[in-house]
Amino acid sequence: MRIGVDAQLAQGTATGIGEYVRGLVSALRARGCEVVELEEPKLDPWRFDRRVFWDQVLLPQRARQANLDLLHCASGTAPMSVPMPLVVTVHDVAWLRAQPHARPYARYYFGAFSVERYRQAAAIAVDSEFSRSELLDAVPGLDARRVRVVYPGVSNDYCALPRERGDGRTILVVGTVERRKNLEAVVRALPLLDTARVVSVGPYTSYQDECVRIAEDLGVADRVEFRGYISRDELLDLYASCAVVAMPSRYEGFGYGAAQALCAGVPVVASDRSSLPEVVGGDGAIVPLDGTQAWVDALGAALHGGSDERAAEARARAIERFAWSKSATDMLATYDLALAARV
């Protein structure tokens, strides 16, 4: 099987999807698969017009030239037409559910336009049972038999990370600083957490300015640090030393930050929304989305070391659940489903 994987979002400042693509390609190759990474390094994947040009012009051209048996669009968007079976990973349907502030043309392209591509796909992989349910609800008539849950894997960097005790003060929040990530829930808890600090790691959006204003109003601006996009080594150092990882999101198709933290043996406090209870399970604290006191209690316990033993015990289970070898096995079964649909 000669598989083409759309790897364009692994270019440059790759976020969770880039991490996903890199890990999947490596895991498939480890299984002996012939994988062709389709990408154009000279094209900025984060400019909307460049993204559309890649998806609809360059990607189908490269796919045809590569003589593929199957094309896997691993970033949630897909060409209007390709001559080989198409598999799409739908990480979430946030563009239909949780992005009302985005520009109309972006909402259309990543929302309604992409939905029509999903209808044409031979098979669809989703990151969680939650995302599967959301997709089937958002796309009436979509054949549920073609939609398979394939948990993303977590890199060995996190699974093998040396971890003893946290620093007792750092609350790490990983992900784009956008409204649906709900960073303000952690900022609002900060005045009741003494010397604790929040370190936010992820690309900027204008929502960050709102979080800064909230921190200033609460008198904790000096304890909230926005680092933007950082190197992998810096991120691993933060996972190794922080006291707790917080995931206060309103909407997540998976929640890579939570899965990575569990595999690194770091205590996790997550909201009770979307996929997070599924991903965290009983291995971290699940708290009400907007329950400030609940966030204070759960984060305070982690800051004082009360969650360290639980996190250490959960680590082996998480590494098994989120192993890239398992993810690759499940994805290959999805490819087989797509190829069988062609017959």
Each residue's pLDDT tens digit, 213-236: 999 999 999 999 999 999 999 999
Q: Which residues contact 226 (CB under 8 A, 6 or more apart)?
A: 177, 200, 204, 208, 212
Residues of the chain with pLDDT under 50: none
The topology (CATH level 3) of 156-321 is Rossmann fold (3.40.50)
pTM: 0.93
Say if residues 87 and 70 touch (Cβ distance below 8 Å).
yes
What is the structure's pLDDT at 32? 94
**DSSP class of residue 292?**
H
pLDDT at 164: 79
**Domain residues of the chain, as ranges?**
2-153+323-342, 156-321
Residue of 303, 178, 330, 317 lying closest to 246 (CA atoms) = 303
Fold of 2-153+323-342: Rossmann fold (3.40.50)
Instruction: Evaluate whether 2-153+323-342 and 156-321 have a shared fold.
Output: yes
Sort strands 244-247 and 268-271 into parallel, antiparallel or unpaired: parallel
